[in-house]
Structure 1
Amino acid sequence: MNENVKTLNTLITSIFYDLTDIEKRIFAQGKFNDVSINEIRTIQAIGVENLKKMSEVAMALKITVGTLTISINRLVKKGYVRRVKIEEDRRIVMLGLTEKGKLVYQTHEKFHCEIIENIVSTLNENEQKMLIQSLENVCDFFKSKYY
């Protein structure tokens, strides 16, 4: 393994673990200390715009509907998510965020925006484009190799 590969491996691994750790600490210390990182990701997948079907959220999270149901049950009980049955077909369950859930969503979005703003503030326009292209290449690799 050459030196650049070693450095990139160290950086990517460190960024991944640091982000996860920082997110855990931010939410553990705040008023949303009863929400796990996986539950925050579920809240993010539901979003604040429109109601979503269970299957849509499960697909976005790359989990089964059964696994999602367990998480949704917890989030409903904690007051972050609401279930809505569609009158035309009562079998369809839609998901939406409560006001409390929307606050978690916004807090998480703000955290990510601060990170991205900090990163891009140190880069010129060309460097930003190069970073975007590089990250798109990484995403494409993951999608083609593992999905």
Structure 2
Amino acid sequence: MDKEKVFYELMETIYETSRLISSYENIPRKYGTEDELYMIEVHTLNLIGDQVKTTTSEIAEIKNCTKSAVSQMVDKLIKKGLVIKYRNVDNYRELNIELTPKGKIVYEYHKNLDLEEYRSHLRNLEQFTTEDFQKYITVLNLINQRTQSVLNDKKSKVY
């Protein structure tokens, strides 16, 4: 098979993986509390927990989405008692967001769940070397950079 055909197959496989992950993410689950949460909520909690204290602007930049979308998600998480939002004492215009104790339970539970899932995948991929994974990471990073560039170009154009 020639390089172009193999690359086309790779891209189609990436799209299929994306569709499967999207379907998987749409199943609500419990993460160490009584709440059923969607992956988008838990991944937002992870971003907040990884930063310890953050803002909607910082999360929007990381997630490559609007501040409005992040604000809506944060409001949902506040209602569920998973995060708090408060004014920054050094910059009154800025609102800080951080995990509540309940949010920290979900954060830790999900981190451990991810480790178990990743280990399960790794056992299933024993035939691949560290170098194989590194090459795949390089390919995906280059595809991501190109995609991000296209997204940035689209955002910067006024219609």
Query: Mean alpha-carbon deviation: is it higher for 103-112 or for 52-61?
Result: 103-112
> Which residue number in structure 1 is paired with residue 54 of structure 2?
52
Deviation for aligned residue 1:10: 6.1
Equivalent runs, 1:100-139 vs 2, <5 Å: 100-121=102-123, 122-123=125-126, 127-139=129-141
Structure 1 residues without counterparts, runs of 5 or longer: none
Deviation for aligned residue 1:81: 0.8
User: Which among 48, 62, 74 is matched to residue 64 of structure 2?
Assistant: 62
Structure 2 residues without counterparts, runs of 5 or longer: 150-159
What TM-score do you get using the length of structure 1 for normalisation? 0.77
Deviation for aligned residue 1:54: 1.8
- The separation in 2 between residues aligned to 1:29 and 1:141, in whole angstroms, is 32
- The separation in 1 between residues aligned to 2:148 and 2:46, in whole angstroms, is 23
- The separation in 2 between residues aligned to 1:102 and 1:42, in whole angstroms, is 12
Equivalent runs, 1:1-147 vs 2, <5 Å: 2=5, 4=6, 8=10, 11-25=13-27, 27=29, 31-33=34-36, 35-121=37-123, 122-123=125-126, 127-147=129-149
Contact 1:32 1:104 in 2 (8 A): no
- RMSD of aligned C-alpha atoms? 2.8
In the comparison of the two structures, how many residue pairs are matched? Answer: 144
- The separation in 2 between residues aligned to 1:25 and 1:66, in whole angstroms, is 24
Percent sequence identity over matched residues? Answer: 19
What TM-score do you get using the length of structure 2 for normalisation? 0.72
Contact 2:81 2:103 in 1 (8 A): yes
